[in-house]
């Protein structure tokens, strides 16, 4: 299976080249919310994506009461399908197209706003457009409606692994013969007071930094929490033979995936990293590859004390003394919760396609407990034979995706895709 289209709306921009060039150059996209931003005064640092006008992605009457996470998802899907050069109904049978676009929390800000209106005005204060404007399945549903997609449609809500799991579902659908094309990814817009307060009261957020761009510090000795971000990423994944038949070239192939559950704690990772290690091994097994075949890992790397060490332990368990290059883009983008895995998968695909590994920004003093082959300071040239993208979530949901160069042999590649 090959990735033929990518769309992103991120704290580093919306254009694909702008996004990846910013990652490679080490530009940081974190700022302090100010002015009339909903999170102003509630977050000291945040990854804020570009504004999306409802009229840009929906007909005028359909944009009423639509939560921002849906607008982000639609914008990313628009760009991904344009990038892939696919017209549903012309280049592919609508019944052979699936859409799996997910979120961690969905339209929580819209729900909160309507709850306030009910308290203030009673039943008449609640808009009749509330449910279609904020339900977690509505990103997938509205993309399907907009493009006439008639195949399987779903949304996955496994917290911070939702985006990666949506892409894995795309691989499952194509391998199972249920689809030729899958539009998959995730969107999240958590930058509002209630979510900010919840994470802050849980002492999960980075604090104490005068420069908001310095607050997200994966694997750094001085890291003290993550930074909330918002955005969306959508990939168009396609059966390799279908892409070849229409003359489309892929960025990279999705070779395998692995999933596991920590079964340990609602929010903390297993300190021994066993769950994370399991899903990486399963991804390698699914792709028919050995650990020595992997040149790069795009880490989950949130910048939390426990999480970064647990992921390090897992990487040592899987790769032993031959550690692949490792970086986390969350230093530049913040943590997009349910959308993080999709955005990081997009970055991993581009790393494979362009043969360059983005650095972990703000990694000034690596924690000795995170003794990995960090890409830091500047980008590192490839080539990349295989790359893992890791996503780990509250609840112990672990997901790893394995990508290789376009035309890779094996499951998901040209010879088997």
Catalytic one of 184, 192, 242, 335: 335
Is residue 160 annotated as a catalytic residue, yes or no? Answer: yes
Residue 48 forms part of a structural domain: yes
Domain count, the chain: 1
370 among known catalytic residues: no
Q: Is the pLDDT of residue 413 over 50?
A: no
The one catalytic residue in 192, 300, 374, 397 is 300
Interval 178-208: pLDDT, tens: 999 999 999 999 999 999 999 999 999 999 9
The reply to whether 411 falls in a domain is no
CB distance 414 to 242 below 8 Å? no
Asked if residues 239 and 3 have their Cβ atoms less than 8 Å apart, the reply is no
Query: Where does residue 177 fall: left (phi above 0), alpha (psi -120 to 50 degrees), or beta otherwise?
Result: left
Asked if the structure places residue 397 within a domain, the reply is yes
Q: Which residues contact 84 (CB under 8 A, 6 or more apart)?
A: 4, 5, 236, 238, 248
pLDDT tens digits, 255-301: 999 999 999 999 999 999 999 999 999 999 999 999 999 999 999 99
Residue 95 structural domain: 2-405
Residue 386 lies in a domain: yes
Q: What is the mean pLDDT of the chain?
A: 96
pTM (2 d.p.): 0.96
pLDDT digits (tens, 9 = 90+) for 18-39: 999 999 999 999 999 999 999 9
414 assigned to some structural domain: no
CATH (domain of 86): 3.40.47.10
- DSSP H helices, 211-304, are 240-245, 274-287
Instruction: Assess whether 316 carries a catalytic annotation.
Output: no
């Amino acid at each position: 299976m090959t990735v033929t289209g990518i769309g992103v709306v991120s704290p580093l921009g919306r254009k694909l080249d702008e996004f990846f060039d910013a990652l490679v150059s080490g530009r940081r996209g974190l700022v302090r919310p100010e002015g009339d931003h909903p999170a102003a005064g509630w977050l000291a640092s945040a990854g804020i994506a570009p504004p999306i006008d409802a009229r840009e992605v929906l007909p005028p009457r359909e944009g009423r009461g639509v939560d921002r996470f849906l607008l982000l998802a639609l914008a990313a899907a628009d760009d991904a399908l344009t990038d892939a050069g696919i017209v549903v109904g012309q280049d592919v049978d609508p019944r052979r197209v699936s859409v799996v676009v997910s979120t961690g929390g969905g339209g929580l800000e819209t729900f909160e706003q309507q709850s306030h209106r009910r308290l203030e005005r009673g039943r008449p204060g609640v808009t009749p457009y509330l449910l279609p404007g904020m339900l977690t399945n509505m990103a997938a549903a509205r993309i399907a409606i907009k493009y006439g997609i008639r195949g399987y449609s779903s949304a996955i809500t496994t917290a911070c692994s939702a985006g990666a799991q949506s892409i894995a579902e795309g691989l499952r659908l194509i391998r199972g013969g249920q689809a030729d094309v899958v539009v998959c990814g995730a969107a999240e817009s958590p930058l509002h007071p209630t979510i900010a307060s919840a994470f802050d009261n849980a002492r999960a957020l980075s604090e104490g930094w005068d420069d908001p761009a310095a607050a997200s510090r994966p694997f750094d000795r001085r890291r003290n929490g993550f930074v909330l971000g918002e955005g969306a990423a959508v990939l168009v994944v396609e059966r390799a033979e279908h892409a070849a038949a229409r003359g489309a070239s892929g960025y990279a192939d999705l070779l395998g995936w692995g999933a596991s559950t920590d079964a340990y704690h609602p929010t903390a990772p297993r300190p021994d990293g066993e769950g994370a290690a399991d899903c990486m091994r399963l991804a390698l097994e699914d792709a028919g590859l050995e650990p020595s075949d992997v040149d790069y890992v795009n880490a989950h790397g949130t910048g939390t004390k426990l999480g970064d060490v647990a992921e390090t332990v897992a990487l040592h368990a899987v790769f032993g003394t031959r550690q692949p290059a490792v970086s986390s883009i969350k230093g530049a983008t913040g943590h997009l919760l349910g959308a993080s895995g999709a955005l990081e998968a997009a970055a991993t695909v581009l790393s494979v396609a362009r043969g360059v590994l983005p650095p972990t920004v703000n990694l000034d003093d690596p924690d000795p407990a995170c003794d990995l082959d960090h890409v830091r300071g500047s980008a590192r040239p490839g080539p990349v034979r295989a790359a893992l993208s890791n996503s780990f979530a509250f609840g112990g949901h672990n997901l790893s995706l394995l990508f290789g160069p376009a035309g890779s042999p094996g499951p998901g590649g040209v010879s088997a895709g």
